[in-house]
Structure 1
Amino acid sequence: MGKESKRPSCGAAVTICLFLLPLLYIGIRRSSSWQSDFSSLSSWRMQISHGSGGLSSKNNTESIEMEGEFSKPFQRLVRGKERRELDTTGVSCFSDPLSDVCVIKQNVRIDTSTMTVYIAPENQPPMQYTVRPYARKTDNTCMEAVTPVEVRTIADDNRPACQVTHTVPVVVFSTGGFASNLFHDFNDIIIPLFLTSRNFRSQLMFAVTDFMLSWIRKYHPILAHLSSYDPIDTTKDRRVHCFPGAVIGLKYHSDFTCNASDVPGGYSTLDFKRFLRESFNLKDRNRTEAAFTRQEDQKPNLVLISRRNSRQFLNEDELVGMARELGFHVTVASPQRVANLQKFAQVVHSCDVLVGAHGAGIANSLFLPEGAVLVQVVPLGLNWASTTYYGDPSRAMGIHYLEYQVTYNESSLSDTYPPDHPVIADPNSIHLQGYRVSRAVYVDGQNLRLDLARFKETLLQAMQRLRWSAR
């Protein structure tokens, strides 16, 4: 009788394979899920604590020299006096009306336990500069929720030793402030983050103060297109990180806008919209071109942003019915639907007309295709905010803008205040009492019942704009 083989029989091998296949499938699914939406919190935190993204192969107590490929992106962030200062000393800290920024083109050590950035005083006189890395510095209420970052020079011997050394620069920003409001997410963080970091071509890391995991998950497609590395959660990772350069704070241009002539130069609002299409994998669609290929019986798509807590359309069903009678295919976007940004971006990008009352939901106009129409319904007392935050910037987005201003009888404020009350007759006097006072009245305390005949004229104008785009 021959010796028994140590190799299992064919039947046993099949049994083992059948047993292992489900485990292998689960492992692959878990890995894929984490990559797509950070679904595993424990894996996410472990990656931050122990991952090797961006780590240098050198001993982590050594310095890293600024590589030539990183020099130009830093220089593009400054101009004039600040550029000369950066080239001479390797550091330039500057302010504009809404943000403070420090650009550091030399080795830095960041102690995330104290949010202190240490730089060597080689060509730099002693300095200590504090940055709250969120682009709304004149708003005291907002900035109270933003952790300050201290930038200071200190002799090399007195700096804390590197515990983690990275081979790419870092941009430090905050998800505090007014984060989780769609308008402020884009206006205060994402557009400035795009302007500040796009020149690095993904070869940089993000260190995030006031870290909100839900925010990181929501905007993961954008962050992943700006950086090839996982962001550092400075509220959990309390080590000393060393980088070959850093930008503390974000460069801000204007409300909901990129100015191609400002620093960093070359990026327009249309460039940002194209970047969003790439990030959310939106099919490149130009409304003007689409209109030429539209079938005779194909209806233009209208998306109505539906509100529930304030500034809601009290006669929403009648509005929808009227729009359908005019020939629109109408989609009512509930708050739950709007909350799923990745899916709703697809909905908005496929529509021809976006309609909504002034509020954060109008920020979804960033996903409109060029040549589409934005119809903003302006409640009483919100004229300035409506025009400044959405009306003026829409021109740079390549979309048509229509504004429907409600009258006294269309606002629920008419149930409380007579026509000669300052709330109605002199909104500026209410705004001068402070944002909390005016918000309670005009933002949180107002609903709308639109005049159907009057609003019909606005929708007909939208139809005309679509036809004009097709010429």
Structure 2
Amino acid sequence: MDNSIVARSFSQHWRKKMRRGAFFGGLVLGFFICIYFTPYQGPLPFELSPPTPIDYFSIKFLSVYLIDVCILFFSGHSYRMRRVNSIFYVTTPVKSRIVCNFTEPESDFCEMHGDIRILGNSSTIFFPHFSVADMFTKNNWPRIKPYARKTDEGALERVRQFRFSQEMPRCTQNHRVPAILFSIGGYTGNYYHSFSDVVIPLYTTSRKFNGQVQFLLADMKVFWTAKFQVVLKKLSNYEAIDIDKEEGVHCFPSMIIGLKKYKELSIDPLTSPDYSVTNFREFLRSSYYLKREYAIRLGSKEKRRPRMLIISRTRTRKLMNEHELVTMAQKLGFDVVLAEASSNISEFSQLVNSCDVLMGVHGAGLTNIVFLPNNAVFIQVLPIPFGDIEWIARTTFGDPSKTMNLRYLEYKISEKESSLIQKYPLDHEVFKNPPLVAQKGWSYFKSIYLENQNLKLDVLRFKTTLLEALQMLSM
């Protein structure tokens, strides 16, 4: 052959290429034969009914194995799985891809592309084509709880865990749009946690789909979906699915498991450059048809009085002299509204948006600052003790309010303004050594300072804070 005319016409380098090409052509032919004889396991078109069950598993195992062998000979590597700082990347030759990030401080999440299937009542997510590499990794494959408070064991006790599997059951329901799987367990019975742990992370995760996304709800709570139905319908054009009760296999072209959370009531400007807290508040104004974008500016042509909302509490951390505060604020020139935070978000958001100042004792009701117009004033009243409660108050509401284009004021009560003065002497550890109280456990600490403390503000002392609020509205 080396003496042939063809061989003399090409260099040794080209002869090697031709031999490789012939070998490659044989592999490609074998590859397509494997595909042709492999039963189709992907999501079925909507107009087709599921096929009659056949012996998939023996044929599938042989065909997929042959495909893997073909690809191994062709490329030298078929499936790649690598782990970098707890971020798992898996790619396959059929453009399937999964990225799991376990490095974020608040939430774990995975993004999956390809033929993704989920069987809700078994909490299992199926991802294809792990037949070769996964034999070495499946025992170590991570599981995930799709709730954005990953370090809080108390919250995660109420969150369902999902596992991954390489087995591919037959689709019973097919979807053309991506899915987002998240839990409304955890602390979502609390209004603040609903926004911080679910609503804001859901906004940043789903907004890019412009409604073309299917929500899969784990740990379903009917009262929660009823309360936030406006948000759910604004973010998705499809009815949310209670995935825990689903006995069939739902199939999707891609899926996000878990929600990306940054900080309390905040959005990370680096990882979500297109969606800021400002965008989120605009989204809320649009969703709930809120009219006011900006608070009043005193000294302008507008002649109405600034409106002030006092969030009333009836169970814990009550303001025992609310009506005195109302009278004093009215004398300063405020139009005052006294109201308890309502579970009807559509109605209460209208009231909040109509106000220029919102004040209240630290608690979940202050979450309604998200509906205030820009440049409004937010006054948070801090019960004692300072230190732990002061840090919590600033982390949950103080710092986030500044990213919402609000003006923030803080009023720290004195011992005489607390109902605890009626139970304990001033030299008691409740006043003098709160860290010692905290050492006895969170439940004990909470029962004293948060559940059994009411406030009676010194009206003259608090007047200074309201005058400062008026000055801010003039700027």
* TM-score, scaled relative to structure 2: 0.78
Separation in structure 1 between the aligned mates of residue 195 and residue 299 of structure 2, nearest angstrom: 29
* SS in structure 1 at match of 2:336: strand
Q: Which has the higher contact order (CA 8 A, sep 6+)?
A: 1
Q: Which residue number in structure 1 is paired with residue 153 of structure 2?
A: 140
For 2:431 and 2:335, the matched residues in 1 are separated by: 36
Structure 1 segment 393-408 matched on structure 2, within 5 A: 393-408=400-415
**2:155 counterpart of 1:149:** no
Amino acid at match of 2:169: P
User: Aligned match of 1:91 in 87, 98, 108?
Assistant: 98
* Shift, 1:394, TM fit: 0.9
> 1:267-306, CA deviations, whole angstroms, 9 ceiling, x for partnerless residues?
21111111111111112521267973411xx211000100
1:306 to 302, 312, 332: 312
After the TM superposition, which residues 307-386 of structure 1 pair with which residues of structure 2 at under 5 Å, given as runs? 307-335=313-341, 338-381=342-385, 382-386=389-393
- Rg bigger for which structure? 2
The Cα offsets for residues 185-208 of structure 1, whole Å up to 9 and x where unpaired, read as: 000111111111111111110010
1: CA distance, partners of 2:198 / 2:309: 26
CA distance in 1, matches of 2:296, 2:91: 46
Q: Against the structure 1 CA distance between its residues 58 and 316, is the aligned structure 2 distance closer, same or farther, given a 3 Å change threshold?
A: same
1:241 match: secondary structure: strand
Cα distance in 1 for partners of 2:162, 2:343 equals 31
The 3-state SS of whatever aligns with 1:245 is strand
Match of 2:267 in 1: 258
Aligned to 1:130: 143
**Equivalent position amino acid for 1:305 in 2:** I
- 1:220 aligned onto 2:193: no
CA distance in 1, matches of 2:214, 2:306: 42
Listed as ranges, the gaps of 5+ residues in structure 2 are 1-43, 52-83
Cα RMSD, aligned residues only: 2.3
Partner residue, 2:70: none
Contact kept? 2:298, 2:473, Cα under 8 Å: no
Q: Which residue of 1 aligns with 2:444?
A: 437
Q: Which runs of 4+ in 1 moved over 4 A?
A: 80-84, 86-89, 288-291
Contact 1:288–1:370 (Cα < 8 Å) also in 2: no
More divergent stretch after superposition (277-286 vs 133-142) = 277-286
Shift of 1:260: 1.4
Q: What are the superposed Cα offsets for residues 376-413 of structure 1, whole Å, 9 maximum, x if unpaired?
A: 00001221111111111111000000000111110111
Q: Is 1:447 the counterpart of 2:465 in the alignment?
A: no
SS of the equivalent of 1:99 reads coil
Distance across 2 between alignment mates of 1:289 and 1:327: 14
1:59 matched to 2:48? The reply is yes
Conservation of the 8 A alpha-carbon contact between 1:91 and 1:124: no
The equivalent residue for 2:33 is: none
CA–CA distance in 1 between the matches of 2:268 and 2:128?
34
For residue 292 of structure 1, give the secondary structure of its aligned residue in structure 2: coil
Residues 82 and 92, structure 1, Cα contact 8 Å, conserved in 2? no
Aligned residues of 1:135 and 1:188 also touching (Cα < 8 A): yes
The aligned amino acid for 1:410 is E
Equivalent pairs: percent with the same residue? 38
CA displacement at 1:420 relative to structure 2: 2.6
Q: Secondary structure at the match of 2:444?
A: helix
SS, match of residue 235 in structure 1: helix
The within-5 A match list for 1:37-48 is none
Tell me if the contact between 1:372 and 1:466 (Cα under 8 Å) persists in the aligned partners.
yes
- Structure 1, unmatched stretches of 5+, are 1-54, 63-79
1:351–1:97 Cα change, 3 Å: same
